[in-house]
């Protein structure tokens, strides 16, 4: 019996919609990262992007447990000397909830060219799905 290795042209991609209303950030982000990598498929191949597209809705309603809202910090640098900007999770959740979820998932993906390619298949919305929706993609609602 020979080992199966997926080819980029053979991959069948699906679309999933994940509602994060009231769910813990880390647990949902971990499941989304697995889907983006393709680890939920029997045809998973580590060196090929076999993952599916994921649309995350209600990112503003995600839950952080414990004292993470005040203690967890997100850092970014403007490029100027002495310009390290630190923002706690509570402020990030109020101002940019999409970015909070994106950073959580990005940290769980490989730090390679392939990981950056997987990350492009993630679509995050702070509220419900946009008016145009994802009907053309025949997206499946995923219950986590």
Q: Which domains does the chain have, with CATH numbers?
A: 13-142 (3.90.1180.10)
Helix pair 25-37, 97-106: axis angle to 10 deg: 60
Average pLDDT, the chain: 95
pLDDT classification of 67: cutoffs 50, 70, 90:
very high
Mean pLDDT for the stretch of residues 83-96: 96
Dump pLDDT digits (tens) for 90-106.
999 999 999 999 999 99
Task: Give the global pTM.
Answer: 0.92
**Rounded to whole angstroms, how far apart are CA atoms 79 and 23?**
35
Q: How far is CA 127 from CA 18, 62, 80, 96, 124, in A?
A: 12, 11, 34, 12, 9
Mean pLDDT for the stretch of residues 78-100: 96
What is the percent of the chain where pLDDT is above 70? 100
Dump pLDDT digits (tens) for 2-19.
988 999 999 999 999 999
Give pLDDT, residue 131: 73
Contact by Cβ (8 Å): 130, 5: no
Mean pLDDT for the stretch of residues 99-118: 97
Q: Is the pLDDT of residue 122 over 90?
A: yes
Give pLDDT, residue 127: 93
Give pLDDT, residue 115: 97
Q: Is the pLDDT of residue 132 over 90?
A: no
């Amino acid at each position: 019996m020979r080992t199966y290795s997926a080819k980029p042209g053979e991959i069948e991609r699906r679309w999933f919609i994940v509602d994060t209303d009231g769910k813990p950030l880390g647990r949902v982000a971990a499941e989304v990262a697995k889907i983006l990598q393709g680890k939920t498929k029997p045809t998973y191949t580590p060196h090929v992007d076999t993952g599916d597209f994921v649309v995350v809705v209600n990112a503003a309603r995600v839950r952080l447990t414990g004292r993470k809202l005040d203690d967890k910090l997100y850092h970014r640098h403007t490029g100027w000397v002495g310009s390290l900007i630190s923002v706690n999770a509570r402020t990030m959740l109020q101002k940019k909830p999409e970015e909070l979820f994106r950073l959580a998932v990005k940290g769980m993906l490989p730090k390679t060219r392939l990981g950056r390619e997987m990350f492009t298949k993630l679509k995050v919305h702070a509220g419900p799905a946009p008016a145009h929706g994802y009907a053309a993609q025949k997206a499946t609602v995923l219950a986590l």
